[in-house]
Structure 1
Amino acid sequence: MQLRPYQSELIDDARQALRKYKYVFISLSTGAGKTIIFSAMTTGAFKRQYRVWIIVPRNELLEQASDHLFRHRVPHGVINARSNESRAYLVHLVSKDTLTRRWDKIKNWPDLIIVDEGHLNYKFQMDLKERIPDKTIMIGFSATPERLSGEGLSDIYDTIIYGPSQVDLIELGFLTKIKYFSPPLIGLEDIHRKGIDYNPDELEELFKKRAVYGKAINHYREHGIGKAAMVFCRSVKASEETARQFRNAGYRFESVDGKMAKGRRKAILDGLRTGIIDGICSCELTIYGIDIPRIECIIMLRPTLSRTYFMQMIGRGLRPYPNK
C-alpha cells in the first residue's frame, strides 16, 4: 500500500502514542485519506493476527471501507442488521447502530477498534469505552476533533494527533485550492439559536424574504455551471424544494436523504459521480463520509454556528480531480 509521507508519519505517531495511551484520536482534513490510513493500520494488524473492528456510523461508509479492504486483500466480515460476527474473520466492519443493539451478544472483543467519524455519537463512544476489555485499544478518526456543539472529546480520548492542516495540504497539492464567494445575508444576525445552531423555522422565513433560493441558482449559473455541485440545506423539505427549483431552471439536480430507498439514493450519488446529474441537495446525509472527487461547487444554503458542520461541508469539494 503506497502511502503519502504524512500518512506514514501519522501511523508512526499513533503507534508511539499507543505505547502510552489506550484511546488515541487522529485528526486529518477531509479528503486527506483517513480511510486509507486506517485501512493500512488494519492491514498491519491483520498480518499480525490481531482482531480489528472498524465502526462506522452509516452504511455508505461501511461500503466505502469495505472497498478499500478488498483492494488491499484483507478478508473481512460485516456486523450489521443482516450479518453477524463471524469467527472466520479477524477483521469486521461494524454498524454503530447494530452494535448498540447487540452489546450482550459480542463473542470476541477485538484487539483494536477504529471509530470512523469519531466526532459523532458521543454517548455511543462513552458506552463503548465502558464496555471494552483492558486488552483492547481504540483509535478515533475525524477531520474535526470536536463534537457538533463545539465541545471537545477529552472524555473519550487520551490524546489527539494532528495531521497537516488544510492549508498545508492545499499547498502540497493533496487538496484543491478554494475560491470562496460569500454574498451578504442581511438579517442573519437576528436569528435565534435552537439547540446548537440557528432556528430552522426563522431561517426559512429569512430565506424566503431575501429570495435566497433564486439568488443561489443565479450564483450557480455565474460561477458553477458545468461543475458537479453539492447543496447543503436546513431540512429535507428545503432540500427537496431546492432541487425542484434547480430543475425548473434547467439543471439536473436531485435531493437525497436518509429515509430514501437505498437503491434510489445510490443511483443519485452514482449519477453525480459519473456526471449524469449536475448536483445533489441534502440536509444531513452528505455532510460527512461522501467521497466524490468530482464535486467542485459547494453551495451552503445552511448557515451554521458549528465549526464542525462548516469544515465538514466545505471538505466535500476539496478532493483533487482532473481539470478541477
Structure 2
Amino acid sequence: MFQLHPYQSKLVEQARQKLAAGNKSVLLVSPAGSGKSVIIAEIAHLAVERGGNVMFMVHRQELVNQIVQTFQADDIDLQDTTIMTVGKIANRLARLPRPSLIITDESHHSLAKTYRKIYDYYAEVPRLGFSASPWRMNGQGLGDVYEAMVEGPSVKWLIEHHYLAPYDYYAPTLIDVQKLQTSSTGDYTNKSMDAAVPKAIFGDVVSHYQHLASGRQAIVYAHNIEASKQVVEAFQSVGISAVHADAKTPKAQRNRIMHDFKAGEITILSNVDLISEGFNVPDVGVIIMLRPTASLVLDIQQSMRGMRYKQGKRSIIIDHVANAYRFGLPDTEHIWTLHDRPKKKAKDKQGPPIKTCDACYAVIPAQCKVCPVCGYELEVESTGMGVDDAAQLKKLTVENFKFVVKHPNHMQPSEATSLKDLQQIARARGYKPGWAYYQAKNRGFITDNKRRKQA
C-alpha cells in the first residue's frame, strides 16, 4: 500500500467520518498536485480489503488508464473494481457488478445528465467525489449531487510544508483583452480568442521565455491548434526544440512526444486543452499561458501544472493572457462550497489586488511602491484591477514592455528609432496620424531637408 502523507490520511479519515454520520455522498476537495490519485487508491484499497467492489469513473479515457496504473502500483485486485469512463458505465449499468463504493474523479463535471443517471441507478451506494476546484462557470453548486464536503490543506500550506513547489509568477500581457467575449458556456468564444491573440506576439513569447526561463523545459497552453503550431515555429526559428500536441494527435505520436519530452530531448511542449485535467505529463517547472479563460477550473489546472514538488525546484509561470487579473495566483485563497454562488453585478466583479512590475513583469501586491522581486521603483501606485476593467488590462497590453519585447506594436515611444516605428505605435494606440510626425520631428527623425525631398 502507498504511504500517505499526514494531510492525505486526515482527508481520508474526514471523508470516512462524514459517511459514518449518515451522508451518502461526500466531496473531497484537495489542490492540484496534492496527490489525489494516491488518496483515491488508498480508499479503494481499504474498500477491496473489506470485501467490497469499487466503481471508479471519470470523463476521459486517459484518466482511466492512469488510475489503473495507480491501482496496480498499490496492489489492488482489479477484479474487484470497475474502472471506466462515465459514458461506458452509463451504457452498461445492467451488466456491471454492483459496487459497494463509487468514486468519481474531476467531480466538478458531475452535474451532467450522464453522471446523474449513474448516481440515480445506484442511489443507495455511498459515493465519494474528488476535485481540486468544485466551481462551475454558471455559478451552480454541487449540492444536488453531494451532501457533504471535506477540504484538504490550502496551496499556500502545501508550498510552505514542501508538498508543492514555490513559484514566481510573471504577467507580461500580450493580448487585447477588450476583444474577448464569453459564449453561452461561460468561457471565451474561439472567435474572440482568435481576435485577441494576434500572430505578431509569438516572437515576444519566445523573448520572454529567453529572459525569464531560458533553457528550462516548458509547457505552453495555446488557444487553438494554429496558434500552438505558430508558437512552436517561433521557438524553432531561434534554435529551441519545440513540438505541438493536441487531442487529435495520433496516440502513438503523442506517446512518443511525451517520451522525448521526459528524456529532455524536447524543450518546449505546446498543446491545446490537452495537458490539463489529470493528464500525465513529465515533471516540468515552467508554464507559459497563451490561452485566456473565464474558467477558474481551467486556470488552476494549467497554471499549477509545473508545481509538482522536487527539492530545490522553483516553478515559473508566464501569463501572457491576464488570467491572474481574473482569478489571482495559484495560492490565492478560494472559498469552496456546495451551494450556488450568488450572481454578481459587473461593478462587484473585482479582481485580486495585484499589479505587474513594469520592469521584470512579476505579479506583485497592488500596494507595493517598490517591486519586491527586482527592486524597481514603481512610478504609478495601483489599487488592483477589476475583472471587467478592460481599460486597465488594455494598458498592460500596450505599455508593459521595457527591455525584452522589440516588436514596434509594443514599444514605448522612447524606444522608437524611426518614423516608421512611431507610426506603428500610433496605429497600435489609436493616436492621430499627426502624433507620429510631431514626435519624429522633435527627435530629429525628420528634418526640413528630408521633408522637402519627400514632397
What is the TM-score of this pair, normalised by structure 2?
Answer: 0.65
Alpha carbons of structure 1 residues 267 and 122: separation in structure 2 relative to 1, 3 Å: farther
Residue in structure 2 matched with residue 266 of structure 1 by the alignment: 255
Residue in structure 1 matched with residue 152 of structure 2 by the alignment: 163
- The answer (yes or no) to whether the contact 2:23–2:147 under 8 Å persists in 1 is yes
* C-alpha separation in 1, matches of 2:219 and 2:239: 16
Residue in structure 1 matched with residue 75 of structure 2 by the alignment: 73
**1:295 counterpart SS class:** coil
**1:290 counterpart SS class:** coil
* C-alpha separation in 2, matches of 1:282 and 1:101: 31
| Worse overlay, 19-28 or 29-38 | 19-28
- The answer (yes or no) to whether the contact 2:202–2:230 under 8 Å persists in 1 is no
Which of 18, 22, 33 is equivalent to 2:24?
Answer: 22
- 2:278 maps to amino acid: G
Residue in structure 2 matched with residue 48 of structure 1 by the alignment: 50
Deviation string, structure 1 residues 215-247 (Cα, Å, up to 9, x no partner): 111111111222221111112332233223322
Alpha carbons of structure 1 residues 129 and 300: separation in structure 2 relative to 1, 3 Å: same
Shift of 1:266: 1.5
The answer to whether residue 219 in structure 2 is matched with residue 218 in structure 1 is no
- The answer (yes or no) to whether the contact 2:178–2:196 under 8 Å persists in 1 is no
| Aligned residues between the structures | 309
**2:288 counterpart SS class:** strand
Residue in structure 2 matched with residue 204 of structure 1 by the alignment: 194
The answer to whether residue 222 in structure 2 is matched with residue 233 in structure 1 is yes
Which of 78, 86, 90 is equivalent to 1:100?
Answer: 90
Q: CA RMSD in A?
A: 1.8
**2:43 counterpart SS class:** helix
Shift of 1:322: 4.6
The answer to whether residue 292 in structure 2 is matched with residue 310 in structure 1 is no
- 1:40 maps to amino acid: E
Shift of 1:204: 1.8
Residue in structure 1 matched with residue 142 of structure 2 by the alignment: 153
- 1:174 maps to amino acid: Y
Alpha carbons of structure 1 residues 301 and 133: separation in structure 2 relative to 1, 3 Å: same
**2:150 counterpart SS class:** strand
| Worse overlay, 168-177 or 248-257 | 248-257
- The answer (yes or no) to whether the contact 1:296–1:318 under 8 Å persists in 2 is yes
Residue in structure 1 matched with residue 336 of structure 2 by the alignment: none
The answer to whether residue 115 in structure 2 is matched with residue 125 in structure 1 is yes
- 1:112 maps to amino acid: L
**2:167 counterpart SS class:** coil
**1:250 counterpart SS class:** coil
| Worse overlay, 21-30 or 313-322 | 313-322
- The answer (yes or no) to whether the contact 1:52–1:112 under 8 Å persists in 2 is yes
Deviation string, structure 1 residues 96-152 (Cα, Å, up to 9, x no partner): 23223333x433220111111111253122222221141x11111111112354432
Residue in structure 1 matched with residue 14 of structure 2 by the alignment: 13
| Worse overlay, 168-177 or 236-245 | 236-245
Deviation string, structure 1 residues 41-91 (Cα, Å, up to 9, x no partner): 011011101000111222222222122211121121xxxxxxxxxxxx111
Shift of 1:321: 2.6
Higher-Rg structure is: 2
* C-alpha separation in 1, matches of 2:260 and 2:140: 37
* C-alpha separation in 1, matches of 2:311 and 2:260: 18
Alpha carbons of structure 1 residues 244 and 152: separation in structure 2 relative to 1, 3 Å: farther
Structure 2's unaligned 5+ residue stretches are: 314-455
* C-alpha separation in 1, matches of 2:88 and 2:175: 44
* C-alpha separation in 2, matches of 1:286 and 1:74: 27
Alpha carbons of structure 1 residues 43 and 263: separation in structure 2 relative to 1, 3 Å: same
Residue in structure 1 matched with residue 367 of structure 2 by the alignment: none
- The answer (yes or no) to whether the contact 1:293–1:321 under 8 Å persists in 2 is no
**1:179 counterpart SS class:** strand
- The answer (yes or no) to whether the contact 1:125–1:156 under 8 Å persists in 2 is no
- 2:217 maps to amino acid: A
- The answer (yes or no) to whether the contact 1:198–1:303 under 8 Å persists in 2 is yes
Structure 1's unaligned 5+ residue stretches are: 77-88
Residue in structure 2 matched with residue 142 of structure 1 by the alignment: 131
- 2:6 maps to amino acid: P
Shift of 1:168: 0.8
Shift of 1:31: 0.8
Alpha carbons of structure 1 residues 264 and 150: separation in structure 2 relative to 1, 3 Å: farther
- The answer (yes or no) to whether the contact 1:25–1:159 under 8 Å persists in 2 is yes
- The answer (yes or no) to whether the contact 1:193–1:199 under 8 Å persists in 2 is yes
Alpha carbons of structure 1 residues 235 and 101: separation in structure 2 relative to 1, 3 Å: farther
What is the correspondence of 1:155-194 to structure 2 with a 5 Å cutoff? 155-185=144-174, 187-194=176-183
Alpha carbons of structure 1 residues 116 and 268: separation in structure 2 relative to 1, 3 Å: same
**2:28 counterpart SS class:** strand
